[in-house]
Amino acid sequence: MLRIQILLFTFFLCTCVLAQSPMAETLKNNLAYVCPPCNSVCDELKFGEAGKCPHCSMTLVHQDSLEPQPEAPTTIAFYLQSGVEVLDFAGPLEVLTYAGFKVFTVSKSLDPIISQGVLKVLPDYSLEDAPEADIIAVFGGNGFNTSQDTAVTNWIRHQENTQLHFSVCTGALILAEAGILDGKTATTFHNTLDYLEESYPKIKVLRDVRYVDNGNVISTAGISAGIDGALHLVAKLKGYNAARATAYNMEYDNWQPADGLLLSSDDPYRQIPAEAVLSEYVGIYEHWNLPELQIRYNARDRGLEAIFRELRFPLYFEAKDVFKDVGGDTVTFERSADGRVIGYRRSYEPDRLMKRL
């Protein structure tokens, strides 16, 4: 009996040593093939070579192929017609490409188009070879003639995988003719509001609004309003902080969150902290490189910003007492025992408290 106990102890000891050895690490790395998830016991097994799973007969795959893949960017097709207004599409193009969307241009053919008689644009695709996109965007400038082109409206109507439509200025006429705006609320260029209302009685037309969000259709007023609508689209799909960062980097000081009509339930501005909450952080603080740093509330974009050297730098709210700066570093505010904000720390220098003065 004693001999059996000694043998078992020796086996256990050798197993533990082997598990800590370089050989064990090599063996572990060599077991690189796994069974695709099948909700069976073999989901936890690893194998040294490709082949069939002996338990469920599924083809083994390399474990690296099961690692989470980066999410593909949202694709947006910009349909551009000859005569399209430059700012109608160039403003949203600036917004959406900066925010990380994959934008490509489509026109009726691959021939160059002329925007406002001065800018030559070479489209990426024609109607014949354009890939499907998550979002289709249309713009004003020759919008009426384009809306009467059945090749264009049929192309829009037959895009099966499109999740959202976006129009700027008289681009709303194109969506209206394609039937996309039927039963919805929309706006357009101020000179076209009456025509849209009279010609398409199924559409509720609104005046004096920068954009209207129906959920899966966003229409904007004329020209510069396309920038506001595009920033709203960023907020809708990527969050308020992403939209605010985009507006800041574009130096677009006209943007105001929710400066449009939202008819959908997915309101990206609902979670913005109230001014009373953010005012707790307002004040003068120490700075590692300057005599002091001012943090103030910006009522226009409803967020905090740091001011130094006469420049403003947004602080993006993440959670209570936690913000991100424009460089992506975390700024954490610290409170006293009675709950007062007494300073902040930066993620790359967490041991140093910048005190509130």
Q: Domain limits at 57?
A: 16-66
pLDDT of 30 reads 63
pLDDT digit string, tens, across residues 158-170: 999 999 999 999 9
Kindly give, in sequence order, each residue whose CB lies less than 8 Å from that of residue 340, ignoring residues fewer than 6 positions away. Answer: none
Average pLDDT over the chain reads 89
Pick the closest to residue 220 from 248, 239, 193, 201 (CA basis): 193
Task: Count CB atoms within 10 A of the CB of residue 234.
Answer: 26
Say if residue 133 is in the same domain as residue 255.
yes
The yes-or-no verdict on residue 272 having pLDDT over 50 is yes
Residue-wise pLDDT for 12-69, tens only, equals 444 444 344 444 444 445 667 777 776 566 666 787 777 777 877 677 777 766 666 6
Q: Please report whether residue 193 resides in a domain.
A: yes
Residues 6+ apart with CB under 8 A from 230: 91, 92, 95, 96, 166
User: Residues 244, 129: one domain?
Assistant: yes
Selected residue with higher pLDDT from 25 and 171: 171
Last-in-domain residue among 211, 231, 262: 262
CATH number at residue 339: 2.40.128
In the chain, the number of structural domains is 3
Query: What integer is the mean pLDDT of 291-317?
Result: 94
Same domain, 83 and 212: yes
Residue 14 bears catalytic tag: no
Q: Is the pLDDT of residue 4 over 50?
A: no
Q: Show which of 24, 43, 66 is a domain's final residue.
A: 66
- Tell me the CATH number at 219: 3.40.50.880
Residue positions counted in the chain: 357
Burial of 96 (0-12, 13-18, 19+ CB in 10 A): buried
Q: Beta 164-167 vs 204-205: how paired, if at all? A: unpaired
Encoding tokens for residue 222?
Answer: 């004329």
Shared domain for 182 and 304, answered yes or no, is no
- Examine the domain organization and report whether 62 and 143 are in the same domain: no
Which one of the listed residues 35, 42, 53, 169 is annotated catalytic?
A: 169
- Is there a contact between 96 and 234 (Cβ–Cβ < 8 Å)? yes
Could you say which of 26, 49, 66 is where a domain stops? Answer: 66
Residues 86 and 178 occupy one common structural domain: yes
pLDDT at 150: 97
Answer whether residue 23 is part of any domain: yes
* Same domain, residue pair 93 and 116: yes
Q: Within a domain: residue 268?
A: no
pLDDT tens for each residue of 113-126? 999 999 999 999 99
User: pLDDT by residue (tens digit) across 126-153?
Assistant: 999 999 999 999 999 999 999 999 999 9
- Asked whether residue 11 is domain-assigned, the answer is no
Burial bucket for residue 296 (CB in 10 Å: 0-12, 13-18, 19+):
middle
> Do residues 129 and 217 share a domain?
yes
Phi, psi of 191 (to 5 degrees): -75, -10
Same domain, 212 and 311: no
* Residues 98 and 154 both lie in one domain: yes
